[in-house]
Chains A and B, each alone.
Chain A
Amino acid sequence: MNAAAPAIIAEGLTKRFQTFTAVDHLDLRIEKGEIAGFIGPNGAGKSTTIRMLCGLLRPSEGHALVAGFDVGQQPEAVREHIGYMSQKFSLYGDLTVRENLRFFGGIYRVARSDMEERTRFAITMAGLQGREDALVRTLAGGWKQRLALGCAILHRPPILFLDEPTSGVEPEARRRFWDLIHDLAAGGVTILVSTHYMDEAEYCNRIALIDRGRLVAMGTPGQLRSRHLGGDLFEISCTPLGAAGQALKDAPGVIDAAIFGDKLHVVLVPGGLDSTTLPGFLQDHGISVQAMRTVAPSLEDVFVQMVSGHHGEQGAP
């Protein structure tokens, strides 16, 4: 595997189930050591994409390389290099913590001399010291998920696929889980993690927003914010709001002006009005301006608008 080559590349990756297209010509490029987030609503195609990248589903069209191996042609070589946590909890509930670790250690052929240390590491990581002999089905969600992560990384895979690892886990445990993901990435592991918690997007280096099988947007959280709005967002307190909105609609440099609660949200692009000239412009129209400040949109706002906008396009004849 070339050191500079991306860990994961997908080109036109498509999965059809009979006539239904679950993943539609997806292009991805994920560099080594990145934490890439898959964000999207239910049924967007996140799991289907991850399963194709793990060699568990055959792509209907397109191809993907994971660790340099083609997922359709060389699934066994791919499996040697990945760790996978499926969306559904998949450890053996009728085995204890230690027995599950021993089982996956055997399956992955972890050297016996390393087993002791790695088992201890996984138990510590999951916070399960003292509960090594508890049956896994008796553990609470957060512990189960951390243990599943521990099992998936026993063989030190360079690439890790985590499918909604934090779903159904309480917020405190979710934060702990993301700390673990960051620790692993710091150690050089490439991680592709899916979630439908929008707030978790902030924890990723890069985000792929997926909706109805298509890649809607991909970039760093900062990039997505500004690319989506196409400019900078300002919040203006002024009266009367309605007249201000009307006045700004056709003003130069304004690409959007909308009433948001008792304030006005305006998106400005360079070349027209800016933060210094805008208050004067409004006052010329007989509007009194009390305050104006820049605001950062939350990623959640961005995604909600992108996804709903996308639906609008699709719905149009």
Chain B
Amino acid sequence: MNIRRIFALAYKETLQIWRDPRSLAIALLMPLMQMTLLGYGVSLDIKHVPVCVYDQENNQQTRGIIGDIVSSGWFSISRTLTRQVGIRHAMDRGDCIAAIVIPANFSRRLASTGSAPVQAILDATDVNTTNIAIGYLQGAIGEINAGIDAQWAAAHGIQPSQIGQVDLVQSTWFNETLDSRNFIIPGVVAVILALVGAQLTSLTIAREWERGTMEQLISTPVTALEVMLGKLIPYFVVGLVDAVFCLAAAAWWFKVPFRGSIMTLFVTTALFILVVLDIGYLISVRIRSQLGASQVALLITLLPTTLLSGYTFPIDQMPAPIRALTFIVYPRYYVTILRAIFLKGSGLADLWAPSLGLLIYAVIVIWLAARAFQKRLD
């Protein structure tokens, strides 16, 4: 590998990008346009929301209430806890997105005052799921209340409408305002960068084949790795500018709270840009026509990215085989990372798993692209 050659290629590519201002303008403005278009998400039905249960009283009545909640079909109990701190751990690990807490004096309060609270703690990082979960919980509690009312009325000989009930006291963590945009927008940024990034580089090799310059280039001693690095460097800069635009729009235009560090954001974003550019480059190497490469890049980034990255459809609501599939959908790692950085203020240490996912991806794609670049015409 020779720095001089990489530099010569990067310089040439930069000049070509610069001399094509229309494409450059599209590359820089397109993401912003897409941000405004995709900035509003969709909500969808979910089932079997994983919940943790912390039943402080744990008697027949409270167990019955929990059984009623589960039998509604919307929830499944992933853990039964015995301590309050367990909730935080379970949520951090992603074991549950809601915790139902029944206080120790629940039965007594219900009997004496006719009203008792059930607490629901919600991980609102994924606000769609959270909102839907709240709706289901309210529905389930409503039915429980109706049952209690009927029993109470029968026992005391009074009208059901006058009696008390179970109150749902909810508290949301990580995304207190429950603003769905806070959840959707970081995902939108990831999706847009994945789409635009692959488009940026998908043309770079195909263009040289179509113009006939590739035949000249591969007759020189230049290596596959030099060509890749030389070509990626200028697009990396363009990709970073796109990322800055999108992230700035997320923070200032869509007002998503930013609690993390710029450094963490930069490192993970740079890694993600590297992956998406190299995916586009790999496509470009394999498909020697610009039109074909651009279409393939769109096809293989658009559908998996929008459907399987978890940006609107929560990954933990997917059936197991599909969920397994999302591990190869690289934007899912960046979606997770961005939400955590924005909403939880997570640092690199917290994000090692998705970051490692991206890193592995980068290494594999670079290896594949370098191998796919043949200095032959046949």
Contact = CB atoms under 8 A, between A and B. Distances in A.
Chain B associates with chain A: yes
Contacts of B212: 86, 88-90
A103 B8 contact: yes
Contacts of A84: 216, 219
Interface in A262-283: none
Given A86-B212, A92-B213, A54 B12 contact: no
Contacts of B12: 92, 95, 99, 103
B245 interface: no
A131 interface: no
Nearest to B213: A90
A90 B216 contact: yes
A95 B5 contact: no
Contacts of B222: 107
A107 B215 contact: no
Interface string B190-232: 0000000000000000000001110111111110000000000
Contacts of B211: 90, 93
Interface string B337-376: 0000000000000000000000000000000000000011
B7 A106 contact: yes
B7 to A, nearest CB: 7
A79 B220 contact: yes
A58 B219 contact: no
Interface in B1-39: 2, 4-5, 7-9, 11-12, 15-16, 19-20
A75 interface: yes
Contacts of A91: 213, 216
B11 A106 contact: yes
Given A79-B219, A79-B220, A86-B212, A107 B5 contact: yes
Most buried by B among A82, A103, A105: A103
A57 interface: yes
B10 to A, nearest CB: 10
Given A54-B219, A88-B215, A109 B4 contact: yes
A84 B375 CA distance: 14
A108 B220 contact: yes
Interface string A168-191: 000000000000000000000000
Contacts of A99: 12, 15
B203 to A, nearest CB: 14
Interface centre among A56, A106, A108 (most CB of B within 10 A): A106
**Which of the listed residues B8, B211, B216 has the most CB atoms from chain A within 10 Å of its own CB?**
B216
Interface string B236-252: 00000000000000000
B377 interface: yes
B378 interface: yes
B5 A106 contact: yes
Given A79-B219, A84-B219, A107-B217, A58 B378 contact: yes
Contacts of B5: 106-107, 109
A54 B2 CA distance: 22
Nearest to B19: A94
Counting contact residues on chain A (CB < 8 A from B), the size range is 20 to 34
Contacts of B219: 54-56, 79, 82, 84, 86
Given A56-B377, A57-B376, A107 B15 contact: no
Contact of B16 (A55, A82, A86, A95): A95
A94 B218 contact: no
A154 to B, nearest CB: 10
A147 B286 CA distance: 31
Contacts of B378: 57-58
Interface in A43-94: 51, 54-58, 75-76, 79-80, 82, 84-86, 88-94
A80 B223 CA distance: 12
A106 B219 CA distance: 14
A133 to B, nearest CB: 12
Given A84-B216, A106-B11, A79 B221 contact: yes
A90 B215 contact: yes
A102 interface: yes
Contact of A56 (B2, B4, B215): B215
A71 B58 CA distance: 81
Contact of A80 (B221, B375, B376): B221
Given A95-B15, A107-B9, A76 B215 contact: no
A106 B4 contact: yes
A94 B220 contact: no
Nearest to A15: B378
Nearest to A54: B219
A86 B15 contact: no
A56 B7 CA distance: 24
A280 to B, nearest CB: 62
A256 B24 CA distance: 70
A84 B213 CA distance: 12
Nearest to B217: A107
A107 B16 contact: no
Nearest to A151: B216
B226 to A, nearest CB: 9
B180 to A, nearest CB: 45
A95 B217 CA distance: 15
Contact of A106 (B8, B19, B216, B375): B8
Contacts of A55: 219, 375-376
A69 to B, nearest CB: 12
Q: Enumerate the 8 nearest inter-chain pairs by beta-carbon distance, A residue then B residue, closest first.
A: A106-B8, A90-B216, A88-B212, A84-B219, A86-B215, A103-B12, A94-B19, A90-B212
Interface of A: 51, 54-58, 75-76, 79-80, 82, 84-86, 88-95, 99, 102-109
Given A95-B19, A103-B9, 5 more contacts: A57-B377, A88-B215, A92-B16, A95-B12, A109-B2
7 contacts: A80-B221, A90-B212, A99-B15, A103-B9, A107-B8, A107-B9, A108-B220
